[in-house]
Every structure is written in C-alpha cells, then in structure tokens.
Chains A and B, each alone.
Chain A
Amino acid sequence: MALDEYTEQTGGPADEIRSEFTKVGTSPDRPDGIDKVTGRARFGADAYAPGMLHGVIVRSPHAHARIVSIDTSRAEAAPGVKAVVTRADFADGQSGEDWAVMENVMAGDTALYDGHAVAALAATSLLEARDAARLIEVEYQILPHVTDVDEAMKDGAPVIREGAADNSVPAGMHPNVVRYHSSGHGDVDQGFAEADLVIEDHFVTAATHQGYIEPHACLATMGGDGRAELWCCTQGHWNVQKLCAATVGIEQSKLRVTASEIGGGFGGKTTVFVEPVALALSRKANKPVKVVMTRSEVFRASGPTASTSMDVKIGMKKDGTMTAARGVFRCQGGAFPGAPMEFTSMCAFAPYALKHVSQIGYDVMTNRPKQAAYRAPGSPMAAFAVESVVDELCNKLGLDPIEVRLKNASRMGTKASFGPTWDRIGLVETLEEAKAHPHFSAPLAPGAGRGISCGFWFNHGGETSVTMAMSEDGSAQLMVGTPDIGGSRASMALMAAEELGIPYENVRVTVADTASLGYNEVSHGSRVTYASGLATIQAARDTVRKLCARAAAKWGIDEDAVTWQDGCAVPSGPNAGDFDPLPIDRICRVMGRTGGPIVGHYEATPEGAGVSFATHIVDAEVDRETGATKVTRYTVVQDAGKAIHPTYVEGQFQGGAAQGIGWALNEEYVYGPDGRLQNAGFLDYRIPVASDLPMIDTVIVEVPNPGHPYGVRGVGETSICPPLAAIANAVSNAAGVRMRQLPMRPSRVLEALEDQD
C-alpha cells in the first residue's frame, strides 16, 4: 500500500457473512501449477520479440555527485548499438510522485545514490550492449553524502535536496527531514507517573531488501506514433501504465501493459525502475527492447525498505497493566520522501488498549536508493522496538508474556492507538490459541530462549475491477487485474465456483492486461483475496442474476421468483411455479438467442478490509562461542478472517516468518565510508537458506471480517510483523542480554555477550 493511500477501513457490505461452503476452505491444486513445475510459465525475462534489442543501464558509482557532462559519442559508434538515452530523452514537467519516479528512473542534474541511473543504451546483443555501456563517459563533481538516518538529521549533514520537506515538518528541523507524523491520545506523562515500572530504550534496524528471486525485467515496444506495448513483472500493471505514460510523455491509453508471471515482489514491484527506460530506448531505436536487471542492480537501484532509529518508553503496573506508551520513530527512505514512518508510528502500539499513548514519526532522506514497500511497510520495525520493551517489562516484573498481552489487548470497542475504535478483531483469539499451543508450554533446552510477539497490519481494499464471462458450455472465464503473486488464481476460482455452483476446474482465471479491464490497483496491502475476491463474488452474483433472468423468461415468471441453487436456476417457492431446475450449461448453451452473451462484472473501491493481528512463538539457541543464533522452533498464529485456500494461507504465514528470520538475524544493507553499497549480491546479503530454518508451524484463526461477504481478511503482510521482535526476545532471553539492534549477526551477539561479562 502506498503511503498516501491509507484510509480508515470501516463498514462494508450490509449482506450477512456467509459461513457454509462446499468449495471455499478446501485446498485444490492451483490452476497454474503445471505451468510452474514444468518451466512453461513465462516470467518477466521470458519474453522475446522479433528484432529485439537488449538494453543496459549506466549507473552512478558515487553516493552523491553532480553530473557535469555525459559523452555518449563513443558508445553510439560501437558495434550493434541502436539507441542511447539520457534524461533529455524523457518527458519533463512532472510533479509529486511522478516527478520523484522520473528522477529516480533516470537522474537529472545530480546522482543521488550509488547505483542511480544516468544513461542507457540498446544494442543487438546483450554482450555488445554491456561492452558499449563502458564507453559512455560521465564526468561527475563529487558532493558530500550521508547514508545513516541519525547522521542525516544532525546540523551540518549534507542536504540531499533543499525544499523537499512538506508543511508537516516542525520549524527548525534539518532539511533532510521531509515529513512528520504525530498521533495518540491521553496524557502520557500522567500515565508514566501511574506506573510501577517504566522502561525506555533505543532500537535500531538495518535496511533490508524484499529479496524476490526474479530481478526486474521487461520487454517494451514503442513506435514513433507513441503507441506502445509493455510486458513486465509487476505487482500492478495499471500503475506501471500510469508511471510510464508520465515519464515517457504519452497518454495512458496508448500504452498497453501485460503483467507476466511474477517471481516474487513483497512490495518491491509496486513501482517502476527499468520500464520507462526500455520504452524510451524502444522509441528511439524503433525496435523492441528488453531490459533485465542484474542482481547487483536489484540491490543497488530498486527499492529496499527503510532503516530505522527508534525510542520507545512504556509504563506498567505490577499486575501487568500498561499505563502509557510513547514512541519516536525515525525512518530513512533514501533520496526521496516516502519512508513509511506514519505506518511505523500507527502500527507500533496497535495491539494494546492504552489510555495514554503518543507516537511521533520522521521521514528522513539520505543518499540511498528510493525505498519501496516491503510487506507491511514500517510495521515490523515498530513491533521490534515495542515488543522488546514489553518483554523486558514482563521479565523485570516476573509476569507471563501472553497473560500481560491478553490483559492489555486491543479488542472490539477499544480505541486504537492511532485513533479509530476497533470493529471485530482477532488479537485476543490469536493470544488464546498461542497460549493453548503445545509450543508455548514445551520445556526449553538448556541455553535456549523463547520469544513472544504480537503484530498488526491494516490491510487494504483499493480500486478493483473484475469481469466474469460465461461460456456456452457453462464454464466461466474470470478476468482479474491483480497479478497472481502467491496462488491467488486458486482463491478466485474457489470463490467463483462457490457462487456459481460449478466445479472449481470449470473456472479459468486470467490476469487481464490494462486494455482489457477497468483500473485495478496494485497487488499490495494484502488486498488481493479481500478486494479481488469480493469483486469476484459480486461479479459472480451479477452473473447469477442474469442467469436467473434467462430462466425466468423461459418459464414466463418474474425474475425475483427465481433463485440459484447448486449451479441451477430453480423457482423460489411453490407459488413461483412448478419447473424442473435449469442447469447453468443449458442456460448458457442458448444464451446467443435468449438475449446475448452472459457477462457479470463488478467495479468498486471496497473499504472494508479487516485489520489483522498475529502472535508468534519462537525458540532460539545462541552459540556463546561464535555468537551464532539457530531458530529451533517457530509457531505462527494469525487471524485470516476466513481462509479461502488454507494451504496457501499457511504458505503466507510461513513466508512472512522466514523473511522476518532473515531480517532479524542476517540481512542488512552495508554502506562503506564512501557511501557505496558493499554487499550487492546474494553471497554477502544472505537471505535464509533451507538449512537455516526449522519447520514453521501455523495456526489459522478465523474471526470473520464484517467487510467481506465470506469474512476474508488479508493475510500476506501481518505474518512479517511479529518475527523481528519474537526472535529478538528469544535471543535476548537465551543470551541473558537485551538485543536492541538488528540484524543480530554473530559479531553483534558476541559483542553483547562480552559487554555482559
């Protein structure tokens, strides 16, 4: 979910939540399964076109430098080169986020971070393109740089861009502080005075990368008339269409974008990086151009998440009652505004019903790549700081970590730390399930530690458009606009089949291109099963109304005298008439001469995305000789509202936990004193491998979301909110020393152990 898109999610359809199902809640094979186990599925880099060129991007080796001149003449004369572009080949005059995207996609006057694009070229082969790229001569005037969030806020720190701050920022702040957030209620000082114990602590997290295995890739074809086709791996092709049109300077409808299969995104593929460059090269060469990032480019020049510096203070009575909480969250989001500090602030204390609470956030610019969303952007860091302090309070007061959380838990009717009053939520249910889970009461091995944490994410609805077209044999073709990033075709087919009363296999789900369906927001905010699911159900109900109307016409009775049961139109009662059930295939077979094609559709911006909470339990062992941590047992308990395809819901829980383990223990962007990224590869930026992890146990809690016809809540993001804290608590309890900085790499744990001795 982009930062400007959060709206309070309230209300929902008036309909009752359905609870009886024949297909929803089962876990059939996914429709695209065979494609994906045979190598047939076509991802971003798997497209080819006749006459296709290969594009390569030239990037700044400096953290901050004025571009004095770019000489492309030698490159233009090199063998095979057909086009060279710089910023002058793009449109100008953008504003707001369009401007920031343009500036990030291709630098203007100044390179703002190591890896910032400054020029690009296309040649007949990739080898020729790479050779020629070395011939582009860029003269730089090196400027002072800053990459650390706390350093960037200090007096005298290099200014990334004067005038970047909006009017939320209090007077007197450094120009690198570009946005400010403050929320809460009550009187925290009074609350702290009522406490028996107050703990205040400082926490730091490193920037991490989403780490999708598929690098950004696209194939662009653009003619001199501005008409263009783009194939790319993206979480949202309408957003790609919008941003590309703004940066290359064409009307949106001239560009048709097709989403390829997507090899992971986790928020990182919600914007554009290489797509406008491929289009500009294609326009200039008048040939198709393919651009694929290298892994090093992905690390240096796509959108990692924010790093943070945080202060959290919580007061507690001896009986475990939390009396007040205050948090200050400084988020570094690279060389442009947008670090998710308001989400960090708003999520921080969301699990707790607090009389006195205050949270402040700072969005800080540095000479790093422009951050992008990463799974529940901002929330995991906040949970790390807050849940670490809660754990320390429990330890010091000798209280049970789950009982304390239950005592203070947000529940229906309590006021959220960021304002609204909670509707039906499932935090208490996840805590009760965690308490009852054998993991929580299992004895710990000597030297091991156990950690508990809660986590919260808003979830999101967003603009959604779905069309369902019936075939003459009674099977259905469903067009959705949200790329299938983790099995969502299966969920959509289940919901469609449930409503129509036809077999799951008789629904074909297609991710439609931008020319074939109404606008769809990006697959983000855990919105796909909620919003595209809701739209699928409503499109199917629209289809059913039309099917019933055909039966009514055939029988010569009123349309409202016909209902739909198990794939057949039936008279709604004895008074409606005595007719045999009319099956869907018999209605569809004659649709051409009973009124024409039968197509249902639904377009809306649903706003009833139910929030979601989780509780995680982690056991970890710390090797006191090496400082290495091993996660030995992991249990995820999360509220899914209603699990449409339970096996893929479990998969989301496990995937979030695994990414959290990497964030907690290994992963970090390492910048040298020269401001260059030092670990731009999977060898040095080490994500968890199979031998690092245990099995990850899951418990699906189902507290229905009042805003969805089946009660669905998004599940994709909440699973990454508790792990940083849960693992930090486990490690701290195992080591006997509080870990306040991520990642908890062996050297850092050793230092902490040595300080303790």
Chain B
Amino acid sequence: MSKIHVTTTVNGDATEFLCDPRETLLDVLRDRLSLTGAKEGCGTGDCGACSVTVDGRLISSCLMLAAEAEGKEIGTVEGIATGEELHPLQRKFIEHAALQCGVCTPGILVAVKNLLERDPDPTEQQVRYWLAGNLCRCTGYDKIIRAVMDAAAEMRGAA
C-alpha cells in the first residue's frame, strides 16, 4: 500500500513524514518521529496516556489517523518545557511526588496544561473531571490534584 505524505508542525517545528494510511498519529509520533513521550496504554482512547494537542484541542493520539495531521499543529509532552526551564506543572509534579511509575505522567501533563490554558483557576472538581480520561494506577490522584492546583495558583501569581 502506498504511503501518504503529511506536512505538519510538531512542538513548533515544521515536520514532514510518510505514513501508512492505517497508522495512527501515536504510531507516527513514536515510531517515525522518535517522540516516545506519548505512551500507548490501551489503543482504544480509554487511558489518556497518549494525550496530545491538535490545533490546541486535547485528543487521544491513538484514535487519530496520522494522515489527518496534514496542516495541523501538534503539541506533545516534549514541547512543554522551554529549553532547560521546566513548565510550572512539571516542576510541581516533581515537588508534590505526583508521579510514582511516571508512565501516565506525559499524558496527564499535556491534559492539565490544556485545561489551565482554558481556565487558569479551576476548582478541584473541575480538575478531577477534566482528568477523568487520564488513568493513573499508582497515586490515587491525590498528589496529582494538589500539584495541578499549586501550579495553577503559581501561574496566576497567587502563590
């Protein structure tokens, strides 16, 4: 089967790739672009470990065909820090021990960064519902919620 040529932007960089029509965006990010931060936890859109943004919208990259990325702007966990400076969310996740094994962490960071861009002052309940599509099996979510609320406060200048 012939491959499809796709032109896109990933974390601000112009990027081109060839993909099989059946490959997902997650497959291409990981296997063709060496961006292995996004993880495949289920392949069915249930766990959120593959969360990325496409034109600012939060999606499960295992549910989007790579060919659909033509002309889109993709954001992944690898694009969250600025050079060596971590994003406040990344810093607060480490400080609060909001990760144990860390495999869900990239997807959760992409998701909550997207939330704070929409609403810089969410309630605990809003954070919990926003993250309901991102499974974490280690932490019980407690420290994740605390890290998000703390980072949001710092970013608002309230901390």
Measuring CB to CB, which residues of chain A are less than 8 angstroms from any residue of chain B?
27, 29-30, 32-43, 45-46, 48, 125-127, 210-215, 261-266, 292, 294-295, 485-487, 647-648, 650-652, 654-655, 657-659, 681-683, 687-691, 693, 695-696
Majority secondary structure, B binding face: loop
In the assembled complex, the CB of A453 is this many whole angstroms from the nearest CB of chain B, namely: 17
A43 cross-chain contacts in B, Cβ below 8 A: 39, 103
**1/0 per position for B31-54, CB-CB distance to A under 8 A?**
100011111111110110100000
Given contacts A127-B22, A295-B41, A693-B140, contact A485 B35 (CB under 8 A): no
**1/0 per position for B73-94, CB-CB distance to A under 8 A?**
0001110110000100010011
CA distance A40 to B142 in the complex (A): 24
- Extra contacts, 12 of them, besides A33-B99, A295-B43, A654-B143 (Cβ < 8 A), are A27-B97, A39-B106, A127-B20, A213-B135, A215-B40, A295-B42, A648-B100, A651-B97, A651-B139, A657-B140, A658-B137, A658-B140
Are B132 and A691 closer than 8 Å at their CB atoms?
A: yes
Are B143 and A37 closer than 8 Å at their CB atoms?
A: no
In the assembled complex, the CB of B2 is this many whole angstroms from the nearest CB of chain A, namely: 13
Closest 3 CB pairs of A and B: A39-B37, A263-B103, A658-B140
A658 cross-chain contacts in B, Cβ below 8 A: 137, 139-141
Are A647 and B22 closer than 8 Å at their CB atoms?
A: no
CA distance A682 to B106 in the complex (A): 19
In the assembled complex, the CB of B75 is this many whole angstroms from the nearest CB of chain A, namely: 12
Are A682 and B44 closer than 8 Å at their CB atoms?
A: yes
Majority secondary structure, A binding face: loop
Are B138 and A37 closer than 8 Å at their CB atoms?
A: no
- Could you write out 29 A-B pairs with CB less than 8 Å apart? A35-B102, A37-B99, A38-B77, A38-B90, A39-B78, A45-B36, A48-B31, A213-B39, A213-B41, A214-B39, A265-B101, A295-B46, A486-B100, A486-B101, A650-B143, A651-B100, A652-B100, A655-B100, A657-B140, A682-B46, A683-B44, A687-B137, A690-B127, A690-B129, A690-B131, A691-B129, A691-B131, A693-B128, A693-B141
Are B47 and A37 closer than 8 Å at their CB atoms?
A: no
Q: Is B95 an interface residue (CB 8 A)?
A: yes
In the assembled complex, the CB of A722 is this many whole angstroms from the nearest CB of chain B, namely: 14
Of the candidates B36, B38, B125, B135, which one forms a contact with A689 in the assembled complex, judged by CB atoms under 8 Å apart? B135
Are A682 and B102 closer than 8 Å at their CB atoms?
A: no
Q: Is B145 an interface residue (CB 8 A)?
A: yes
CA distance A36 to B36 in the complex (A): 12
Q: Is B58 an interface residue (CB 8 A)?
A: no
B46 cross-chain contacts in A, Cβ below 8 A: 295, 681-683
Are B42 and A37 closer than 8 Å at their CB atoms?
A: no
A681 cross-chain contacts in B, Cβ below 8 A: 42, 44, 46
B132 cross-chain contacts in A, Cβ below 8 A: 689-691
In the assembled complex, the CB of A589 is this many whole angstroms from the nearest CB of chain B, namely: 29
* Chain B residue at minimum C-beta to C-beta distance from A685: B46
Are B97 and A213 closer than 8 Å at their CB atoms?
A: no
Given contacts A39-B35, A212-B137, A213-B136, contact A682 B42 (CB under 8 A): yes
B95 cross-chain contacts in A, Cβ below 8 A: 29
Greatest chain A CB density within 10 A among B38, B44, B78, B100 is at B100
A696 cross-chain contacts in B, Cβ below 8 A: 140, 142
B30 cross-chain contacts in A, Cβ below 8 A: 45-46
In the assembled complex, the CB of B17 is this many whole angstroms from the nearest CB of chain A, namely: 15
Q: Is B109 an interface residue (CB 8 A)?
A: yes
Given contacts A213-B104, A213-B135, A681-B46, contact A39 B76 (CB under 8 A): yes
Given contacts A33-B94, A647-B96, contact A261 B140 (CB under 8 A): no
CA distance A545 to B17 in the complex (A): 58
A46 cross-chain contacts in B, Cβ below 8 A: 30, 36
Are B37 and A264 closer than 8 Å at their CB atoms?
A: no
B135 cross-chain contacts in A, Cβ below 8 A: 211, 213, 682, 687, 689
Are B37 and A40 closer than 8 Å at their CB atoms?
A: yes
* Chain A residue at minimum C-beta to C-beta distance from B45: A683
* Chain B residue at minimum C-beta to C-beta distance from A660: B140
Greatest chain B CB density within 10 A among A27, A45, A486, A651 is at A651
* Chain A residue at minimum C-beta to C-beta distance from B76: A39
Q: Is B67 an interface residue (CB 8 A)?
A: no
* Chain A residue at minimum C-beta to C-beta distance from B20: A127
Q: Is B68 an interface residue (CB 8 A)?
A: no
CA distance A454 to B37 in the complex (A): 40
Are B86 and A37 closer than 8 Å at their CB atoms?
A: yes
Q: Is B134 an interface residue (CB 8 A)?
A: yes
Given contacts A46-B36, A214-B41, contact A36 B102 (CB under 8 A): yes
CA distance A38 to B106 in the complex (A): 7
CA distance A127 to B27 in the complex (A): 11
Are B44 and A213 closer than 8 Å at their CB atoms?
A: no
* Chain A residue at minimum C-beta to C-beta distance from B127: A690
A127 cross-chain contacts in B, Cβ below 8 A: 20, 22-23
CA distance A33 to B32 in the complex (A): 26
CA distance A681 to B47 in the complex (A): 10
Q: Is B61 an interface residue (CB 8 A)?
A: no
CA distance A37 to B101 in the complex (A): 11
Q: Is B144 an interface residue (CB 8 A)?
A: yes
Are A264 and B78 closer than 8 Å at their CB atoms?
A: no
Of the candidates A29, A39, A654, A693, which one forms a contact with B77 in the assembled complex, judged by CB atoms under 8 Å apart? A39
Are B86 and A214 closer than 8 Å at their CB atoms?
A: no
In the assembled complex, the CB of B91 is this many whole angstroms from the nearest CB of chain A, namely: 8
Given contacts A37-B86, A39-B106, contact A45 B94 (CB under 8 A): no
CA distance A45 to B109 in the complex (A): 20
Are B137 and A211 closer than 8 Å at their CB atoms?
A: yes
B145 cross-chain contacts in A, Cβ below 8 A: 690, 695
A263 cross-chain contacts in B, Cβ below 8 A: 39, 41, 101-104
Of the candidates B81, B94, B101, which one forms a contact with A485 in the assembled complex, judged by CB atoms under 8 Å apart? B101
CA distance A22 to B105 in the complex (A): 31
In the assembled complex, the CB of B60 is this many whole angstroms from the nearest CB of chain A, namely: 12
A45 cross-chain contacts in B, Cβ below 8 A: 30, 36, 39-40
B22 cross-chain contacts in A, Cβ below 8 A: 127
Are A36 and B105 closer than 8 Å at their CB atoms?
A: yes
Are B78 and A38 closer than 8 Å at their CB atoms?
A: yes
* Chain A residue at minimum C-beta to C-beta distance from B77: A39
B42 cross-chain contacts in A, Cβ below 8 A: 295, 681-682
Are A37 and B142 closer than 8 Å at their CB atoms?
A: no
**1/0 per position for B108-149, CB-CB distance to A under 8 A?**
010000000000000001011101111111111111110000
B144 cross-chain contacts in A, Cβ below 8 A: 690
**1/0 per position for B10-30, CB-CB distance to A under 8 A?**
000000000010110001001
